[in-house]
Structure 1
Amino acid sequence: MSRPEPSAEDAGQTVKPNLLAAFSLGHGANDLVPIGMFLLIPGFGTAMGLSPTEIGLLFMIHSLGGAMAYLPAGILVDHVANRGILLAATFFWVGTGYLLASFTDSFWAFAILIAVANTGDSAWHPLATGVLVQMHKTRRAYALGMHAIGGHVSEIIVLPLCGLFLAMWDWRLAIQVLVIPTFLVGCYFLVIRHKVPRHITSRPTRGDAAAIWRTWANRAGLRVIAILIFYNMGLFAIITMTPLFLKLNHNFGWIETAMAMAFMMLFGAVAQPWTGKISDNIGRRPLIIGGNAIAAGAALTAWASTSIALTLMALGVALTVQVAIRAVLLASAVDHAGGREGTSLGLAFAFMDGIAASAALLAGWVGRNDLANAFLLASGFSLLAVILAATTPKTAPSVAEKLTV
């Protein structure tokens, strides 16, 4: 297995801990309301009397809005010098968009505003992760896992808060409170923007576009994309329908639903740097296959179970492994591309959260009679990811670094 050339970090120029902490903090602050949407969209939907399919459509529109920003932001991180100011701008974009959404009563106005707001959060991800993997060329998955901790800490904090706000007040006030930390951290990033390493300014060229096309428009590249999509479709089907399943099928309150969701994501969040570090040492393939296989089996168990305790445990296992291997899958996309880290991550995020967003609508549709059917759908998506990863030729040059054991 070929290894990347030693980076500045390995030569002794380590990344400052305060910068790593700032990126993790920024990730968490930017993700507060988008993560809260896993409960706030169902909260909006139940308040408006929407069906599971309509709620699934809202999830899909929200994710599609975000997907539109991933690739442009990824290209920017590879070509723009002052990435610090771009990172700072994302907080104000996110906060303003969601704040405006909190004042509407219209389905489509709400859908459009949350989609626009999510583009700001989506822009953060390839910008921040692109900078990090450029700093940590030999520890990409580890760096991505450390960045991911901020987002998953937000999950653990914001989901119970959303449950509390929905129980005490409503979805409007929940959004209005949650945007406050986003604006505050945005001000902090304006102060520290000069600490973000600058990049040599360049213009995207036709040659860049041709290189991207050659990298991805082949059997190996399309296989990587398909694995990313099916992995995230399995995750989306579970994470978008579980709150409705617990509330409608088992009469959970908002606080109980929120606590269950936060607990189920906790262990995967903690495991991301660990799984990333393992994959940096032994390869991406074993973790991608193993994680998706476990998720497929757990989701199938959740669908078949008649015990709420067993269902919760199965969903917890599925979400834990799916969250835990996310950084591994992102690193696999960078490994496949070899260079243009920001663009590669932008593409990976776009496919994962763009095309895969349709899983929310599909999960709502198959769950229109029984929401547990969404878990059977999730199991099928994860199984497809397993099959694609397991049948990837180990000796394929363009994926050798990504999937070699």
Structure 2
Amino acid sequence: MASTVAVTTEPHPEAAGYRTLALAACTHLCEHLYVGVITIILPVIAAAMGLSLAQVGLLVSVRSLGGGVLNLPSGFLADVWGRRKALLSTALLLIGLGFLFMSFAGGYWQLMLFMTLGSLGVGMYHPQAMSILSDTYKTRRGFALGFHDTGGNTGEIMAPLATGLLLTTLSWQGTLRVWAVLPLAMAVAFFALARTSEQRRLSRGDIGRLFRSGVLRNAQIRHMVALSVLRTMAQTAFVAFLPLYLTNQLHMGIGLVGFYLSVLFFAGSVSPSFAGWISDRMGRLPCLLAGLFITAVCIFMLPALPPGLALGTGLIVLGVAMYALRPVIFATAMESAPPEVGATIVGVLFTGNMGFSFLSPLIAGLLGDRFGLSLSLASIGVFPLAAAGVVTWHLLRGEAATPLRSAEAKPHAP
């Protein structure tokens, strides 16, 4: 006999205010800090421990694997168990403990173990956070997910600057201990202060039915996965090859390269909130089509832009368009399936991104070896152009994100 628990009253956005949203944005900042801090501090640790390049590469690979392996399982667990706030706080706890325990690592294998611990927290994070926001701010879903993205992007900007400053006065161990405080504090703060709805615990029959109809057999979800993968492939390859293009093709110094990258990242850090807000009012698919088309055109044109104002302006427009797309994609996907599988949807999207995005830098590299960096960089625009084709297909068929029937519509057996 299946057991269920009743759904608690969901806090209305006006009642919940923006406290939960602000807390979620801060937790996303902590999650992005982990990746950014490790990236900056790893060369210092490698020098102190005398690690080989192969050992460093293995650490990075294990970190990436740990960050991706829990996306789908943790999303499914959140939908089945329903305690998403507890799971999100656990993810932050793992990130904080990863920082802390790494600072006490006495050797390579201990370092790898504790780095993996933090990476597991990173992998658990997104399905919980994004499904919580999607349910709590249903009428402002795009804005909420966009503001959450802005918090994470702020962490990416903050991590290298703050870590570099800390390393000028502290050892790498001391720096990691300082960074451990923030995610540990946010784990407690979110659990204690965030107002979220508790997800219904579903019967086994409902879980299987909703997963099959809401995920596996849902054409809209498949299209959104393809869209998300193509967007991520474009971003991954472009961020990897822009520094190479600026250095080798335009012969810029490292300081100027850093400046142009900062322009791109800063533009991308603020745009998700605005894009989500606009999509709440104008519709998801038109915003996606416009953003993808602008992204493709900017990438195609970038090699023709001279250094200076033209290149800087092009990177600003590209950063705004490319980074604005993710919250709109996730909002569209989560409106295309029953809310009971929202966390699983997030896990599916992130797993798809992880499973395919590694291909785009390889493709760009092969093209660069054969045809040069300019054509290699411009070719990355094919990915958002293909994604725009997916959106156009939806629009031509007159499709919009239409929520499927949820488990609430079907009475449960006692």
- Say whether the fold is shared (TM-score over 0.5): yes
Which stretch has the larger CA shift, 278-287 or 155-164?
A: 155-164
Tell me what 2:210 maps to.
211
Q: Could you tell me which residue of structure 2 aligns to residue 391 of structure 1?
A: 393
The structure number with the bigger radius of gyration is 2
Cα separation, 2, equivalents of 1:138 and 1:293? 26
Check the 8 A contact 2:10/2:196 in 1, yes or no: no
Residue 233 (structure 1) shift:
0.8
- Using the alignment, how far apart are the partners of 2:76 and 2:133 within structure 1? 15
2:382 aligns with 380
User: Counterparts of 2:89 and 2:143 in 1: how far apart (Å)?
Assistant: 24
CA 1:26–1:192 in 2, change beyond 3 Å: closer, same or farther? Answer: same
Q: Which residues of 2 match residues 231-270 of structure 1 at below 5 A? A: 231-243=231-243, 250-253=252-255, 260-270=260-270
Mapping of residues 65-84 of structure 1, within 5 Å: 65-84=66-85
Q: Does 1:328 align with 2:356?
A: no
The size of the alignment, in residue pairs, is: 386
What SS does the corresponding residue of 2:199 show, helix, strand or coil?
coil
Contact kept? 1:127, 1:342, Cα under 8 Å: yes
Amino acid at match of 1:271: S
Q: Is the 8 A contact 1:367 1:373 kept in 2?
A: yes
Question: Could you give the per-residue CA deviations for residues 86-136 of structure 1, whole angstroms, max 9, x where no partner exists?
Answer: 222212212333566676997x99788656533312322111111111112
Alignment match, 2:406: none
List aligned pairs for 1:182-221, cutoff 5 A: 182-189=183-190, 191-192=192-193, 195-202=195-202, 205=204, 207-218=206-217, 219-221=219-221
Matched, 1:19 2:7: no
- Which one-letter code corresponds to 2:319 in the other structure? L
Q: Is the 8 A contact 2:364 2:379 kept in 1?
A: yes
> What is the CA deviation profile of residues 348-403 of structure 1, one whole-angstrom value per residue up to 9, with x for unaligned ones?
22223443244355556656796666633431211211122222354466x4449x
Question: Are the structure 2 counterparts of residues 222 and 165 from structure 1 closer, same or farther at C-alpha, using a change threshold of 3 Å?
Answer: same
Instruction: Report the CA distance between 1:42 and its aligned residue.
Output: 8.5
- 1:284 matched residue in structure 2: 284
Partner of 1:296: 296
CA distance, structure 1, for counterparts of residue 286 and residue 117 of structure 2: 37
> 1:79: how far off?
3.0
| Identical amino acids, percent of aligned pairs | 23
Alignment of 1:336-375 (within 5 A): 336-339=336-339, 340-360=341-361, 362-363=363-364, 375=377
Q: Give the Cα–Cα distance (whole angstroms) in 1 for the partners of residues 178 and 234 of structure 2.
A: 31
Structure 2: stretches of 5+ with no match in the other structure: 1-8, 404-414
Displacement of 1:232 after TM fit?
1.0
SS state of the match for residue 147, structure 2?
helix
Q: Indicate conservation of the 8 Å contact 1:85/1:190, yes or no.
A: yes
Q: Normalising by structure 2, what TM-score?
A: 0.76
- Aligned 8 A contact 2:285 2:395 in 1: no
Secondary structure of 1:250's aligned partner: coil
Tell me, in whole angstroms, the C-alpha distance in 2 between the residues paired with 1:317 and 1:149: 16
- CA offset digits 1:274-328 (Å, max 9, x no partner): 2112212221112111111211222223344563664444333322211112110
1:138 aligns to what SS in structure 2?
A: helix
Stretch moving more, 29-38 or 159-168: 159-168
Q: Distance in 2 between matches of 1:386 and 1:109?
A: 45
Structure 1's unaligned 5+ residue stretches are: 1-6
TM-score by length of 1: 0.77
